[in-house]
Chains A and B, each alone.
Chain A
C-alpha cells in the first residue's frame, strides 16, 4: 500500500491527533500554568509564581501527611500485589483440571473491584461488627477496629487492591505458559532443583511482564480514588487521605484550582520520576529473549 498518498495515514489518525491536542496536550500545559496561579473559578487566574509550591512544601501539613500516606500506600500495595499475583500464577501454571475455573474465580474481583458497589461492600465487611470481625471471632480472635485505627484503615484500602490481583495474575500466567518447557528439562538434567529453575529460568524470562505490570500498577495505585473516598473518606486522622482525594477536595470542593493543579503536578512529577527510574533501571534487569525489539 506504499503507493497511497503520504497523508492517508494521517487522515485515519485525525481523531487521535485532534483529541491529543484538545483533551491532553493543551490541558497538560494549562495545568502547569494554573499551578503557578491563584484561581477560584470566579475571577481570572492571578499569576503568583511559585507561591503554591512554596506553600505546599513549607506550610501545608495536610499535604505532607497526604504525600506520606500515598507513598506508603503505593510502596506496600504494588509489591504485595505483584508478588501475590506471581505466586498464584506459578501455582496455576501446572497441568491441573479446572484451571480455567480458578483463573475465572480469581479474575472476577479485578473486573468488579473498581466499582462503587465493591467499595460499599468493603465498608460493610470491615465494619466493627462486619463479616471480617465475625469471621475472626469464630476463629477465636478478637475483633479488629479496622476503620478507627490509622494503620488498619490504610491496610483495608490496600487489601481492596490486593483482592484485585487477578488481572496481573492473568498476564503473568500467559507469560509463564509461553516459556519453552525444554529449558526446564535441560536444567533438571543438569541437576537444578525447582527453586533454582524458578530463579534462574522463570524469573529472567518473565522480567518484561514484571516490568509492564510494575509500571501499570504503580501509575494506577498513585491515582487510587474510589476506595478511600467511599470506604474511609480519607480518615481517620487523614490516614487514608491519598493525594488524588486531596486534589479533588481542593479543586471541586474548595474551588482552589491553582493550588489543586500544583498538587497534581507534584504527584505527576513523582510518578514520572519513578517511571523513568524504572525504565532506566530496566536495561539492567529486564531480559528480552532473542532481543529484536524495534
Chain B
C-alpha cells in the first residue's frame, strides 16, 4: 500500500493534500454538529428539572404564566407551607420514615448479596448450575406475578402497615440484579490473595470479610447506591403495605399532597418535589462514578 502511494507523482501528492484538507473541514463540521446536538438535547432534557427548581420559588399565579426559570417574586411560601402539609405530620416525619425504610434495606441487601455472590463465585456445590439459572430467571421474572401472594403472606404474618415487607425480602438477597452484579465483579478478581490467606489458616468466613470485601468495595458501593435510589423512588411497595399516614415515606406523602392540595397550591407540591429529589441528586453527584461503572459493567457482561 505504502509503495503504491510513493510511486505516484507530485500532482497526486497535491490531490492527497486537498483530500486531507477537505476531510479536516468535514471533521470540524462533524464535531460542531455533535456539540450542537449534545447541547440542545442536554438542555431539553434538563430544562424540566431546572424549571422545577425555579417554579418551587414562584407564587402560584406565576407557575402557569411564566415559562422562564427565574421567579419574578421569589417566595419561600411553597417550602414553608408545603413542609407543614395538610396532615398532623410534617415532611420531616416523612423523610425520617423514608430513611428508616432505606437504611435497613440497604444494609440487608449489602450483607446478603455479598455472602451469596461469594458463594456463587468461589465455591463448587451441588445444584450450582440450577441455582445460578434461578438467579437469572428471578432477574427476568416480573414482580407483578408474585406480588399478590407476597401480600397475603405478609398479611398472615401480621406485617401489614409495617416496614417489614419492604425490608425482609432484600435481606434474603431478593434483588437478583445485585447478586448478579457482584458475582460478575468477583469472577474478574484473581484468587491469589484469598488462596494465600486460606493456606495461612484463615477460614472462608475470615477470607470473605478481610480479603474479599475490601476488594469488592467498588462494586458493593454501587450496589448500595442503586438500592438507595430505587428504594427512595419506590412507590408501589409502600402504597400496598403502608396504610397509616404517620408511617408514610416521602413518595406516598407527595401523592397525598397532590390529592389534597392539587387544585390551587401548586408551589407547595413543587417545593416538596424538589426536596424529595434532593437526596437522590446529592448522592448521585457525590458518587456518579459508581453509578456509571455499576451500570456499564452489569450491562456489558449481561
Contact = CB atoms under 8 A, between A and B. Distances in A.
Interface of A: 1-2, 4, 6-13, 15-20, 22-24, 26-28, 30-31, 34, 88, 91-92, 94, 96, 102-109, 111-112, 114-118, 120-121, 123-125, 127, 129-131, 134-135, 138, 163, 167, 170-171, 173-175, 178, 189, 209, 212-213, 215-216, 219, 222-223, 225-226, 229-230, 244, 247-248, 251-252, 257, 260-261, 264-265, 267-268, 271, 275
A169 to B, nearest CB: 10
Given A91-B38, A112-B281, A215 B273 contact: no
A91 B41 CA distance: 11
Nearest to B229: A111
Given A23-B172, A96-B35, A6 B299 contact: no
B92 interface: no
30 contacts: A1-B198, A8-B123, A9-B122, A9-B125, A13-B116, A19-B169, A22-B172, A34-B149, A88-B41, A91-B34, A96-B34, A107-B292, A109-B49, A111-B284, A112-B233, A112-B281, A115-B276, A117-B276, A121-B49, A121-B270, A124-B266, A127-B64, A170-B292, A170-B296, A171-B299, A212-B299, A247-B147, A248-B236, A260-B148, A261-B148
B173 A15 contact: yes
A31 B169 CA distance: 18
A30 B119 contact: no
B179 A265 contact: no
A268 B145 contact: yes
Given A8-B123, A171-B295, A108 B284 contact: yes
A28 B143 CA distance: 9
Nearest to B236: A225
Contacts of A134: 64, 66-67
Interface stretch (B10-18, B99-107, B251-259): B251-259
Contacts of B31: 94, 96
A116 B255 contact: yes
A275 B288 CA distance: 31
A1 B123 contact: yes
B38 to A, nearest CB: 5
A105 B174 CA distance: 31
Given A19-B173, A116-B251, A268-B144, 17 more contacts: A1-B195, A9-B123, A9-B128, A13-B119, A15-B116, A16-B179, A103-B292, A108-B284, A109-B49, A121-B52, A171-B299, A213-B299, A219-B142, A226-B236, A248-B236, A251-B151, A264-B147
B251 A23 contact: no
A30 B124 contact: no
B112 A15 contact: yes
A28 B141 CA distance: 10
Interface string B27-63: 0000100110110011001101101100100000001
B233 A171 contact: no
A238 B124 CA distance: 52
Given A31-B146, A91-B38, A120 B269 contact: yes
B45 A109 contact: yes
Contacts of B6: none
Contact of B1 (A112, A135, A189, A268): A189
Given A2-B124, A27-B149, A108 B49 contact: yes
